[in-house]
Each structure stands twice: as C-alpha cells, then as structure tokens.
Amino acid sequence: MMERSFVMLKPDAVSRKLIGRILSRFEEKGLKIVALNFLQIDEDLAKTHYGEHEGKPFFKDLVGYIISAPSLAMVIEGDDAISVIRKIVGATNPKEADLGTIRGDFGMDTGRNIIHASDSPKSAEREIDLFFNRDEMCDYEVPEDSWVYE
C-alpha cells in the first residue's frame, strides 16, 4: 500500500552535517521524497508538534532542543512507508538501536536521537499537515520504480 509519512531531521542531524547521508538511505531503499522544508521551528509549532508530551518532565527540554537550530522536514512516499521508515530509523534510544539504522549509526542519546518519523497513518497525516500545505508536495513518477516494486 503506497502511503506517505512525515520525517524530520532534527537540529543535531543538521548541525552535524548528516543530511545527505541520511536522505540517501531513504532513496537507496526505493522510497520517494515528495516534499522538503528546511526551517527554523518556532516555539508554537514545536509545542503543537510535541503536544502529546505536554506536562511530561522532558517537554520543556524537548521544545528547547527542537527550536535550537534548523531542522529538515520532509514527506516520504512508498509502499508501507511508515513501517519501512521506522525500521530504517531504528529504536528511539540510539543505544538500543541496531547498527545499520540511522539512530544506531549516528546517535548516542535519546535526547539527541537525530530523527523523527511518524509512527502511524494518523500521526503522519497530522504531522504532514503541521509542516506542509498539500500543494507543496510533488506527485511524480520515478523510472526506477519498476525495479523497486513488482
């Protein structure tokens, strides 16, 4: 099932100049990037994005971290994209993430875990709508799709 997911490279990924290395993992897997937005997230957007964590002890630090430097928001499309992306990303705690995953290869601490990826179709839709207008997403064909999908 073709679906779209929201993915965000957090300030630590951007500041450590890992954007290209991380994007290539999604493209090499056969997933398609349909929208990108390089932005400095403001406090209101951060609080809305992480609203499910409001009231938790780490909420203030999480908001402060995500607004501390630019992030790269994106929409990625593919067959069963949400679960495929989450496998590529790895466990939330980088110390528990398998080597070969983004967090397993580049992260050391849960508070600096490089990347966010939607965990469900409902979350993906909500997060995409927070960061993108529908007209900012590109629908296009990739010739290599016939070599990725049956």
Give me the CATH number covering residue 95: 3.30.70.141
Known active-site residue 53: no
3-state secondary structure of 7: strand
Q: Is the residue at 103 inside a domain?
A: yes
Q: Is the residue at 140 inside a domain?
A: no
* Rounded-to-integer distance, Cα 74 and Cα 15, Å: 17
- Mean pLDDT across the stretch 20-34? 97
Average model confidence (pLDDT) across the chain = 95
Q: Is the residue at 144 inside a domain?
A: no
**Number of structural domains the chain divides into:** 1
| Domain span at 80 | 2-40+70-135
C-beta separation of 123 from 86 below 8 A: no
pTM of the entire structure? 0.93
Per-residue pLDDT of 68-109, as tens digits, reads 999 999 999 999 999 999 999 999 999 999 999 999 999 999
- Tell me which of 13, 116, 118, 128 is the catalytic residue: 116
Q: Is the residue at 63 inside a domain?
A: no
Q: Is the residue at 49 inside a domain?
A: no
Q: Is the residue at 61 inside a domain?
A: no
**pLDDT-derived band at 1, boundaries 50, 70, 90:** low
Asked if the model's pLDDT at residue 137 lies above 70, the reply is: yes
* Rounded-to-integer distance, Cα 127 and Cα 74, Å: 10
